[in-house]
Structure 1
Amino acid sequence: MTTATSTPASPTASPALPRLTSLSHGGGCGCKIAPGVLSEILKSSGANAVIPPELMVGIETADDAAVYRLNDSQALVATTDFFMPIVDDPYEFGRIAATNALSDVYAMGGKPIMALALVAMPVNQLPLDVIGAIVRGGQDVCRAAGIPIAGGHTIDSVEPIYGLVAMGLVHPDRVRRNAQARAGDVLVLGKPLGVGVYSAALKKLQLDDAGYREMIANTTRLNTPGPLLAELPGVHAMTDVTGFGLAGHGLEMARGAGRQVVVEWSRVPLLPGVQQLAQDGHVTGASGRNWAAYGAEVRMAEGLPATTRNLLTDPQTSGGLLVSCAPQSVQEVLEIFGREGFASAAVVGRVEDGEPVLRVE
């Protein structure tokens, strides 16, 4: 049987095979549990927890990964991420999921060293060559990152799920948390927004070929600037923008630092055609759940485009790094992004003293 492939116009190469996205109730980082629900689930998780002194970063500020000090020059970065298909091409699904999982290591300033695969598949509905293509996509991304997939775990599942446990190393002095932004910092975003909108349009077969290519290129670009940025003393905080959108992850930065994060909306890079697609109603359910969870902490100026809220809350699968840095470091930060192939990286806002909310102007 032919391996399923995907284009916007023809989501599967064989009518006998179901579309991957049709086998799941959500896709990509849009599958995340809504932030308000997640907060309730985790509310008591710290009670009676064992917290060794070597644990440099845990769950306290909803950071991207855990960090455990090994010695004076090394700390282990550990994270896991997995989700259901955001595209129908199995190979590209594997690539996107693996890129997204490794992003959390880069966001802490770490360099990946190895990964473990998490594979849950409806084996009675998907041919083995389709499942193999998913796994191969993840392997190719890890190869590009210079690391092995050293093991993993597989189960028979109702819905297709793929991802990685990712591990990396970082010098303890170069760990970059999401909670260390300083008043006066400038915010730089590494990738354009709009992946969730693209995915919603793709599911309805309304994403053209150019948009699909942009979506794949964006979601499979490894966030390699992370460890290079962490070497700069002027870079104070980093996170990657994923399922909670720019607004949600910006708010996590604001809460952790106890300061106000200001987004200058006119400077935020967007994927081509995203505003029109959002205006046409191609918005994920996760976008609405995100706003319901944290909209009370967002202060939006009057006169902004009608689509602004949906794009601020748009879940980004394998999104860009959000960097909080001193003004004198901005040029060097942008140069690092540029050398690593992130042509859309841009200054998108600033950090100010004040109530820890997100302000959009």
Structure 2
Amino acid sequence: MKDITTPVNSNLLVGYQKGDDGAVFLVPQGKAVVQTLDFFTPMVDDPFIFGQITAANAVSDIYAMGGDPQFALNIVAFPICTLPVDILKEILKGGAEKLTEAGVSIVGGHSIDDPSPKYGLSVTGFVDPQRVWKNEGCKEGQDLILTKPLGSGIITTAIKGEMAEKEAIDHAIKVMTTLNKGAKEVLENFPVTCCTDITGFGLVGHSIEIATASGVDIYFDHRQIPIITGAEEYASYGLIPAGAYRNREHFKAKVEIGKNVPQTIDDIIHDPQTSGGLLFSCDPHLTDTIIGEMEKKGIGAKKIGWTT
């Protein structure tokens, strides 16, 4: 970590630089703490990009709660005797670059020698306790808007099978390395009623969490769901990650798929996402305005559903 830097936060009282046993961070008055943790095995071949994706995914939960990430702890498992240490340095540099973009300080971490490389972060953020976004709160008659396209799990499966084309890989990497910071900054100016990020449970699973917590039914128009380049084609080849099958089995009792929905779309909405977009609800009269503000930041948000 000696050559890796992230922003120095004025609220950081003690960091890792002098070998202290823990980090000490001052919590601003009137703020609540948001805590989350995620880690992965590599989903792409490039270690720097792997670090970027992992960091973007880790801070996403903070944004989804309406908070601002502040500091993070690295979590590393690496086969130090069998892989060059430069690979680990690239992973950590990728993570640090993305955290710098998010304004997040690395305050320490922990590493172990392990046969399978893994990288992740425990991220802490602050949020106004009166403005926490939750799964609960979505109301009948509201719109559901998604800020990123789906299909990253299918693309990474195609990458592992050496069947993914460059256009699909590049699009998936762009999606997975994009922070949800910009989307959160737009949404904090509007009365959003619930919010989550689409990750391991896929669109179906995370939508069910909202529907269950809020006591509503959610409907999606499959024609409006944005999809990463190549994902539908690779799904038609059967390049479906195991997590999609687990999601379908786990949530099947609460899902009804229309007969006109193609099997590839069925696969994509169950596909576990890495660093997916925000899914949020709002009153219909706000939808076009919010999407317009997202467009100004280069975010291709789309209305994909509604509630009853």
TM-score by length of 1: 0.76
Measure the CA separation in 2 of the matches of 1:330 and 1:339. Answer: 15
SS of the aligned residue for 2:288 comes to: helix
Verify the 8 A CA contact 2:172 2:229 in the aligned structure 1.
Answer: no
- Corresponding letter in the other structure for 1:348: I
Find the counterpart in structure 2 of residue 133 from structure 1.
90
Verify the 8 A CA contact 1:109 1:228 in the aligned structure 2.
Answer: no
2:295 is the counterpart of 1:349: no
Find the counterpart in structure 2 of residue 329 from structure 1.
286
Q: Give 1:129 deviation, angstroms.
A: 0.3
- Corresponding letter in the other structure for 1:351: T
Find the counterpart in structure 1 of residue 195 from structure 2.
238
Verify the 8 A CA contact 1:187 1:324 in the aligned structure 2.
Answer: yes
Find the counterpart in structure 2 of residue 250 from structure 1.
207
Find the counterpart in structure 2 of residue 194 from structure 1.
151
Find the counterpart in structure 1 of residue 160 from structure 2.
203
Consecutive unaligned residues in structure 1, runs of 5 or more: 1-69, 353-361
Measure the CA separation in 2 of the matches of 1:204 and 1:71. Answer: 48
Measure the CA separation in 2 of the matches of 1:148 and 1:341. Answer: 26
Measure the CA separation in 2 of the matches of 1:84 and 1:270. Answer: 24
After TM superposition, the structure 1 stretch with the greater mean CA deviation from structure 2, 148-157 or 189-198, is 148-157
Q: Deviations over 1:59-84 (max 9, x none)?
A: xxxxxxxxxxx787311111111111
Q: Give 1:92 deviation, angstroms.
A: 0.6
Counterpart of 2:72 (choices 115, 122, 129) is 115
Counterpart of 2:139 (choices 176, 179, 182) is 182
2:187 is the counterpart of 1:229: yes
Measure the CA separation in 2 of the matches of 1:213 and 1:227. Answer: 25
Q: Give 1:335 deviation, angstroms.
A: 2.5
Verify the 8 A CA contact 1:262 1:350 in the aligned structure 2.
Answer: yes
- Corresponding letter in the other structure for 1:229: L
After TM superposition, the structure 1 stretch with the greater mean CA deviation from structure 2, 134-143 or 119-128, is 119-128
- Corresponding letter in the other structure for 1:341: G
Q: Give 1:184 deviation, angstroms.
A: 0.8
Q: Give 1:273 deviation, angstroms.
A: 2.1
Distance 1:71 1:212, change over 3 A: closer
Verify the 8 A CA contact 2:186 2:294 in the aligned structure 1.
Answer: no
Verify the 8 A CA contact 1:107 1:240 in the aligned structure 2.
Answer: yes
Verify the 8 A CA contact 1:176 1:230 in the aligned structure 2.
Answer: no
Q: Deviations over 1:196-228 (max 9, x none)?
A: 110111001111111111111000000012243
SS of the aligned residue for 2:196 comes to: strand
Find the counterpart in structure 1 of residue 255 from structure 2.
298
Measure the CA separation in 1 of the matches of 2:285 and 2:80. Answer: 54
Q: Give 1:336 deviation, angstroms.
A: 3.2
Query: How does 1:34-183 map onto structure 2 within 5 Å?
Result: 73-183=30-140
SS of the aligned residue for 1:175 comes to: coil
Find the counterpart in structure 2 of residue 3 from structure 1.
none
Find the counterpart in structure 2 of residue 359 from structure 1.
none
Q: Give 1:134 deviation, angstroms.
A: 0.4
SS of the aligned residue for 1:124 comes to: coil
Q: Give 1:244 deviation, angstroms.
A: 0.8
Consecutive unaligned residues in structure 2, runs of 5 or more: 1-26
Measure the CA separation in 1 of the matches of 2:117 and 2:172. Answer: 20
Q: Give 1:146 deviation, angstroms.
A: 1.3
SS of the aligned residue for 1:139 comes to: helix
SS of the aligned residue for 1:341 comes to: coil
Verify the 8 A CA contact 1:186 1:351 in the aligned structure 2.
Answer: yes
SS of the aligned residue for 2:109 comes to: strand
Measure the CA separation in 2 of the matches of 1:156 and 1:101. Answer: 22
Verify the 8 A CA contact 1:239 1:322 in the aligned structure 2.
Answer: yes
Find the counterpart in structure 1 of residue 237 from structure 2.
280
Query: How does 1:1-40 map onto structure 2 within 5 Å?
Result: none
2:277 is the counterpart of 1:320: yes
Q: Give 1:332 deviation, angstroms.
A: 2.7
Counterpart of 1:268 (choices 225, 245, 252) is 225
Measure the CA separation in 2 of the matches of 1:111 and 1:277. Answer: 36
Verify the 8 A CA contact 1:72 1:172 in the aligned structure 2.
Answer: no
Find the counterpart in structure 1 of residue 11 from structure 2.
none
Find the counterpart in structure 1 of residue 19 from structure 2.
none
TM-score by length of 2: 0.88
SS of the aligned residue for 1:142 comes to: helix
- Corresponding letter in the other structure for 2:209: E
Instruction: Number of aligned residue pairs: give it.
Output: 281
Q: Give 1:232 deviation, angstroms.
A: 1.4
Q: Deviations over 1:230-288 (max 9, x none)?
A: 3312x100000001110000001111111111111111001122211100111111110
